[in-house]
Amino acid sequence: MPEKPEVITVVNTLRKKLIGRTLEKVDVYWENIISYPSVKAFKKKISKQTIHEITCRGKWILFSLDTDYLLIHLRMEGKFFFRHHETRDKHEHVVFTLDQEEQLRYHDTRKFGKMLLIEKAKLETMDPIASLGYEYYDERLTPSYLKERLKKKSLPIKTVLLDQSIIAGIGNIYDDEILFLSHIHPLKKANTLTNKNLKEIIENTKITMEKAIKLGGTTIKSYESAEGVHGKFQNELLVHTKKECPVCNHKIEKIKVNGRGTYYCPKCQK
Catalytic residues: 2-3, 59, 260
Q: Say if CB 150 and CB 70 are below 8 A apart.
A: no
List C-alpha distances in Å: 103 to 16, 71, 86.
15, 18, 10
Which residue, among 89, 77, 73, 4, has the nearest Cα to 36 in the 3D structure?
73
Which residue, among 202, 170, 169, has the nearest Cα to 184 in the 3D structure?
202
DSSP H helix total and E strand total for the chain: 6, 12
| Alpha carbons 204 and 256: distance in angstroms, whole number | 23
Which residue, among 81, 83, 82, 127, has the nearest Cα to 107 in the 3D structure?
81
| Alpha carbons 149 and 126: distance in angstroms, whole number | 21
Q: Say if CB 227 and CB 81 are below 8 A apart.
A: yes
N-term to C-term CA, the chain:
27
DSSP string, 156-185: BHHHHTT-TTTBTT--HHHHHHHHHHTT--
| Alpha carbons 71 and 82: distance in angstroms, whole number | 19
